Copies of this chain bind each other. A is one copy, B any other.
Amino acid sequence: MNKHSLIIGGAGFIGSNLSAKLLLDGNQVTVVDNFSRGLYVYLSEHIKNERFNFFNFDVAHRQHCMDAFENAHKISKIDEVWHLAANSDIPAGISNPDIDLKDTFLTTFEILIQIRKYDIPVLHFASSSAIYGDFGDDEIYETIGPLLPISNYGAMKLASEAQISAACESHLSRANIFRFPNVVGIPATHGVILDFINKLKINKEELTVLGNGTQKKAYLHVSDLVSAMQLVTTKESLQKTILVNIGPVDDGVTVKWIAEKVIERINPKARIIYGEGAKGWLGDVPKFNYSTDRLKSFGWSPRLSSSESILKAIDEIVKQESVK
């Protein structure tokens, strides 16, 4: 009997890559998505696979979440839940905190209620480096404190982690909490590369960048992210709640470098116009020194560096956008 994986948010950027990989591995895969960011077309290759099912529900609502789990459970007993549903537009959540409350936190809250009801032993959760807030130059390992997120998105990811941790005390056998870095690749729904490409579509001659371009961040390609998560899920652990930073092993690239690479690809003559300050937007963390020692101790290393991930993603996203 194949393992039955329920992927909430499975039609989004990371979810659709994960669904494809789990199907390839032979799993029974059920995707639940409300298409807030995800698209049905991202799953189009799976539709004919008899091990694949899809349900359109918004799991932040109790009844929808109940229905989603009931439908998935009817297919076969659910062995694991992957929770990848969230608002991924950080600035939107700053101006309207209800978005992160509902899409990023209440999804987690409701999913945990159903996990308890169906006695599902394992949850894999897409958390974020945003839970850490701004530690300046300090190396950010999983046990650092205090945790003072500076965006509502980061706050609601931390709230989710906290609720999952409490669930591990009462009913969950294991939770893998992955603290994601900036992830790039396709299908791109948001992020700096897509933003730049879209801006150049409107004005081919000028690219306006938020902030002064010196923000340096590490980027991981989605293919490396999926392989890292899968590796962690296969490892035995004495702890019920496993926290893992996922990221590349280099120290990242600047926004300026990304902007230059995007114009090189689209219109090398375009001018780049920088804003002021090191922060791109409210809630943006300008500097980030992410420790991936724990992940490396599991025996993982990324295939691509930050710069290689960005270059590959620029290529992929340019193609994605020209097809549209």
Contacts and interface: CB of A to CB of B under 8 A. Distances in A.
A145 B148 contact: no
Chain A interface size, under 10 / 10 to 19 / 20 to 34 / 35 or more? 35 or more
A155 B144 contact: no
Contacts of A270: none
A144 B145 contact: yes
Contacts of A97: 109, 112-113, 163
A53 interface: no
A149 interface: yes
- Main SS of chain A's interface residues? helix
Given A158-B158, A159-B159, A170 B283 contact: yes
Given A159-B158, A282-B170, A143 B146 contact: yes
B155 A165 contact: yes
A163 B152 contact: yes
A149 B162 contact: yes
A101 interface: yes
Contact of A150 (B101, B151, B169): B169
A82 interface: no
Nearest to A284: B169
